[in-house]
Chains A and B, each alone.
Chain A
Amino acid sequence: MTSDAWYDEQHRLTPDDVRAVTLPLTRWGRHGYEEEPVRAFMADVHAEMVRLINERASLWQEVQRLRRRILGRETGNDAVLFGKDDAHIHAVRILSSAQRTADRYVADAQAYSGRLTEEARARRDEIMGQAQQHADMLLEQAQTRARAAAVDAMNHDGPAPQTDQERRAVQAELAYLRTFSEVYRQHLRIYTEDVLRTIEDWESKERAAVHDVQQATPNPLAAQNPLGGQHSPSIGWRHSP
């Protein structure tokens, strides 16, 4: 709370003001005043008292001057009418008042520059904060996108290798497996063709034999099941090429 809560610059503090002042009570309970307004009021009372004391002092000086003037008239000494000392005190007052004015100008300028700096600092913090937020947003978006891409990749291709080294290892394994399967297919084809050839060979021999037997003695069993008990020997042949 500022001083104008009780009086302004023109309206001086009066005894009634002091008696009538109401100060806000503390929030919890009703046992005391808030410190801040009480201090502000005490500062006002102090300033007013200093002013009164100074007024009294200058009145006393004035009384002394007038007294000297009367005494001077009675003794016929004109020099005391407005003596050298009085002139000096007068000059001191004028210079003091000029100094006070200069002080106020400097203080105002300083307060103004202080306010400007403070505002500039607040504005800068605000702009920096916004820029930071914007940067965060962009970064977050980028991360979200990267995450989505990673999930996609995982769903389509299984877990993606993480490091270059791992990727290289997997690629090497893949190349090996490709070569192996090619070689294996080759071997399998040769083997299978061989088996097929043997089977054809064996079939044609058997057909010829059956034909020979049918020519000699008719056998109804052999005619119904041409392979008959020949399964095992065919397998046994595989192991004894």
Chain B
Amino acid sequence: LDIARLKRSFAHIAMHGDEVPLHFYSDLFLKHPETRPMFPVSMQAQRAHLVDALVNIVAGVDSLDALTVFLRDLGRGHRKFGALAAHYEAVGDSLLATFAHFCGESWDADLAADWKGAYELVAGVMTAAAREDEERYPAFWTGTVVAHERRAFDVAILTVRTEPPLEYAPGQSVAIESPARPRLWRYYSMANAPRADGTVDFHVRLIDGGAVSMALTAATVAGTELKLGPPVGVLRLDTTAGRDILMVAASTGLAPLKSILEQVAGLPQPPRVHLFFGARNADALYDLPSLEKLAAEHSWLTVVPTVTGGRFAGHSGALPDVVASYGDWSGRDAYIAGPTELVQDTTSRLGAAGLPVTQIHVEDFGWSEP
């Protein structure tokens, strides 16, 4: 494989922008019409996912270990979409045809053979991971909604019983597909430590114009059957450090942290935990009563609610400011979750105040899922 040449040729293909994935999917659907129902009506996001994955793979060629991890996750993740080994062949054909189309006069037999070889390696790693996964786990879990509670104007808490029971670590997430929005999968964190009855909670906030969040908050009732993908994510409780804990949760970013909090509560000697829970206004502090109940039961837990606007009897202001105003957190393990920008702000704020980056735990959304 002439890696350098593949990279040059990919750069040339990528110049054509959105036309490349557009051509690829049209080519695939014309040659294999049976694949079309595996995708949503709008392919806009799908095309971006494909380009992201291709860019990741081409850039990752230089660090094969990391690339293998990425590809194995990708292969496992594709099982819930119904991807079978035969599909990999079809995708390979269309991808090669697309590359040939956009390479134009620079396409030749050598380049075609190199791209074919590269694709077979990628597909090989993905299908192998999928096969291993198949022996232990289903392609997806069926989750029946047993309770749907509207907690705020735009927040609902879903309690779901899965079949078979979902095995996960507190802090992890799963992709969810609602029957009201077929082929659209969105990630949500489990909001509780694993329970004896096997039910899991999800905190869903209505995103303006968000197709899936709207279906989950408004068009879901007890009895609705959801599809759940395999648990993913790297946000976990570090039980080895023995340090006290700082948790910063913005809005439904509370979900993974509440799950971890329940795990902490089960430890023989829980560390001290300060949990800052921030939201738009007092109404949006949708789970405060339950947190305050936990804090009343456990002396090691302190809950500090904050709002950015409106009337509130507690702290108000930007969440990173309120956290920083409490003083020195440098001896703690910090767990931060919420909207990306807020997580970044809080992380850099705590870093600047002397908290080592190794003690800051956030979800890594680096993995992309076509």
Contacts and interface: CB of A to CB of B under 8 A. Distances in A.
Contacts of B187: none
A114 interface: yes
Contacts of B211: 110
A96 B154 contact: no
A88 interface: yes
A92 B209 contact: no
A106 B311 contact: no
B126 to A, nearest CB: 25
B311 A117 contact: no
A209 to B, nearest CB: 92
A50 B44 contact: no
Interface stretch (A22-30, A52-60, A69-77, A179-187): A52-60
A143 interface: no
A24 B27 CA distance: 45
Given A57-B104, A117-B206, A132-B311, A106 B42 contact: yes
B26 A115 contact: no
Interface string A88-112: 1101110110011011001100111
B22 A100 contact: yes
A92 B26 contact: yes
B351 to A, nearest CB: 25
A117 B208 contact: yes
A2 to B, nearest CB: 19
Contacts of B210: 114
A121 B153 contact: yes
Interface string B252-282: 0000000000000000000000000000010
A102 B42 contact: yes
Nearest to A110: B209
Interface stretch (B12-20, B222-230, B285-293): B12-20
Size class of the contact patch on chain B: 20 to 34
A96 B26 contact: yes
Given A113-B214, A118-B208, A124 B26 contact: no
Given A54-B16, A57-B16, A106-B42, A99 B283 contact: no
Interface in B200-216: 206, 208-211, 214
A114 B209 contact: yes
Q: Give the interface centre of B18, B19, B208, B210 by most chain A CB atoms within 10 Å.
A: B208
Contacts of A132: 311
A88 B30 contact: yes
Contacts of B27: 88, 92
A112 B208 CA distance: 10
Contacts of B32: none
A110 B210 CA distance: 7
A112 B214 CA distance: 13
A124 B153 contact: yes
Contacts of A102: 41-43
A128 interface: yes
Interface string A78-90: 0000000000110
A12 B138 CA distance: 52
A96 B208 CA distance: 28
Contacts of A129: 310
B30 A54 contact: no
A114 B30 contact: no
B301 to A, nearest CB: 30
B26 A95 contact: yes
Interface of B: 15-19, 22-23, 25-27, 29-30, 41-44, 101-102, 104-105, 153-154, 206, 208-211, 214, 281, 283, 310-311
Given A50-B16, A88-B27, A128-B283, 11 more contacts: A50-B17, A99-B26, A99-B43, A106-B41, A106-B42, A112-B209, A113-B209, A117-B206, A125-B281, A125-B310, A132-B311
Q: Which 8 A-B pairs rank lowest in CB-CB distance, beginning with the nearest?
A: A114-B209, A106-B42, A50-B17, A95-B26, A114-B208, A92-B26, A117-B208, A103-B44
